[in-house]
Amino acid sequence: MTSLYLGLLVFSLAGLALLDWHRRLAFWADARRTGVLVLVSVLFFLVWDTVGIALGIFARGDVDVMTGIELWPEMPLEEPVFLTLLVYVTLLVWRLVGTRGGDPRPLPGRARQPRSAGVDQGRRGVPGGRPDPGSASR
């Protein structure tokens, strides 16, 4: 029994958090809203999982890459962490696309560029274009 899977999940979550921080997409745009969203979604998926386990549809694999710790019968410690990753990555991808890259922090040692000079310049002035995602947050 090892923490390999748990470690990979936490590593992936840390990478997402870094993206979130840099682009101010979710927790770094509205911490409470993101917190409630993740909590409610993960609880929903845990109920779904538990029903599936109770019906005998799926079960925890007894493999070396997991800690072997069960929160309740057949529910591995890793599952809520995985579900958090699923919900968080969904939120970040949707926000990233929907806000056209979020609200990037300037790179170290570089002055902040006005967004009109940024990478999404080509999408400016598209009819029906949405307001600059950063404009309302400052």
Partner 1 sequence: MSRFTYVGLSVAVLAVVAVLCVPVLRTLPRRPLWWTAAALLAMTAVFDAAIVGFGLTTYDDALILGLTVGPSPVEDFAYTVAAIMIVPTLWTVLGRRRRGGDRAGRGEAGQDAPRTDEGA
Would you tell me which residues interact with partner 1 (CB under 8 A)? Answer: 5, 29-30, 33, 36-37, 40-41, 44-45, 48, 51-52, 55-61, 63, 65-66, 76, 78, 82, 86-87, 89-91, 93-95, 97-100, 102-103, 127-133, 135-137
Q: What's the closest the beta carbon of residue 34 comes to partner 1, in angstroms?
A: 8
User: Residue 4 has which token pair?
Assistant: 């390999």
In sequence order, what are the residues at sequence separation of 6 or more whose Cβ sits closer than 8 angstroms to the Cβ of residue 79?
46, 49, 71
Q: What's the closest the beta carbon of residue 17 comes to partner 1, in angstroms?
A: 16
Tell which residue, 30, 7, 16, has the closest CA to residue 137.
30
For partner 1, the closer CB: 55 or 111: 55
Quickly count: other Cβ atoms within 10 Å of residue 34's Cβ: 20
